Amino acid sequence: MVKEGHGSGNEDHKSFNQFDVVQDYSDHHYAKTSPGKTTKDWAKTIQNEWKLLQRDLPESIYVRVYEDRIDLIRAAIVGPAGTPYHDGLFFFDVCFPPEYPRCPPKVYYHSGGLRLNPNLYESGKVCLSLLNTWWGSGCEKWSKSNSTMLQVLISIQGLVLNDKPYFNEPGYKNTVNTPVGEKHSMAYNQTAFVLSCKTMLYSLRNPPKHFETLVVHHFHERERAILDACSAYASGIIVGSSVRDGAKYACDKCFAGFKKSLDAHTELLAKELAKNRAQAPELKGDTPAADEIASTSLGQT
């Protein structure tokens, strides 16, 4: 099997490999699921998946596989820029069933009890045509010959965590580019961003095993960008748009409710990010003081 040095929660961020082999899988969602009766071909297929992930992962996706449970994977996906999920970390646990690749992998989303996307349920269910858990046809569905785990992860990042997730719902697709549809989409993005902030809090307080270092350093590096975005959105800048674009909402009741909720979560985030910064002492001097950041972010309305 493809192997690298064993990862741990204490590894230095600069050497935090995008792909690594680890041992302890005790907190994995599928830890108590028996691999069942497997074959050499099954193991070989997973070995090829490891090689593909190790070689071709994009920079914003991180994967850990398990030496003693090759049927399990954990992945962290960074929310794409230009979406309500920007700068967030989203974690997924994966299990390759004994029938793999005749059937797709099982994927569980660490939701923290939040529904921030039509395709990501509070229960952890991930709805994606490639997983045969969402409608689709032809090449959109899982293919035992052509589909891969890498493709699943990239699809989640690009197709699920997109800039207008409201239209992920099949019933709303016919309202794309209509005044009503776009208004609902912007309101959905407001809610999605607040829930993304909640997810950040959840990840900071409960980092998944083997990703502790990634969580600390990712949020340390993105602290200013996250709080600046919160401040900009609270001033009326449309969620997901560039601050420099200057596009703003109409000052209606919908925005007023969003601003109140966002301000409350920004204050919580500022405090939690300050605690997080203390865990990255080697980078401590690179960012402003906590009270400076908090006052800057909360003071702009």
Is the predicted pLDDT of residue 299 greater than 80, yes or no? no
H helix or E strand, kind and range, residue 45: helix 40-56
Residue ranges and CATH numbers for the domains of the chain are 19-165 (3.10.110.10), 176-284 (no CATH)
Please give the pLDDT value at position 4: 39
- Tell me the C-alpha distance between 31 and 34, whole Å: 8
Adjacent-strand bridge partners of 6: 21
Please give the pLDDT value at position 127: 96
pLDDT tens profile 185-199 = 999 999 999 999 999
Please give the pLDDT value at position 291: 38
- Tell me the C-alpha distance between 34 and 69, whole Å: 10
Which residues neighbour 186 within 8 Å (Cβ) at sequence distance 6 or greater? 238, 239, 249
Going through the chain in order, the beta strands assigned E by DSSP cover: 19-22, 61-66, 69-78, 89-95, 106-109
**Concatenated DSSP letters of 163-196:** S-GGGGSGGGGGGTTSHHHHHHHHHHHHHHHHHH
Identify the weakest region by mean pLDDT among 79-88, 165-174, 199-208. 165-174
Identify the weakest region by mean pLDDT among 72-81, 141-150, 158-167, 286-295. 286-295
**pLDDT class for 140, splitting at 50, 70, 90?**
confident
Q: Are 239 and 193 in contact (CB under 8 A)?
A: yes
pLDDT tens profile 39-61 = 999 999 999 999 999 999 999 99
Please give the pLDDT value at position 139: 76
pLDDT tens profile 87-109 = 999 999 999 999 999 999 999 99
Query: What is the model's pTM?
Result: 0.87
Identify the weakest region by mean pLDDT among 10-24, 57-71, 98-112. 10-24
Is the predicted pLDDT of residue 284 greater than 80, yes or no? no
- Residue 139 annotated as catalytic: no
As a whole number, the mean pLDDT across the chain is 87
Is the predicted pLDDT of residue 10 greater than 50, yes or no? no
pLDDT tens profile 212-231 = 999 999 999 999 999 999 99
Cα dihedral: 174, 177, 180, 184 (round 10):
90
Share of the chain above pLDDT 70, in %: 83
Cα dihedral: 60, 65, 70, 74 (round 10):
-60
Please give the pLDDT value at position 242: 61
The one catalytic residue in 95, 103, 127, 139 is: 127
Please give the pLDDT value at position 165: 97
Q: Are 151 and 100 in contact (CB under 8 A)?
A: no
Give the Å distances, CA to CA, from 169 to 67, 79, 172, 196: 38, 19, 6, 19
Please give the pLDDT value at position 170: 83
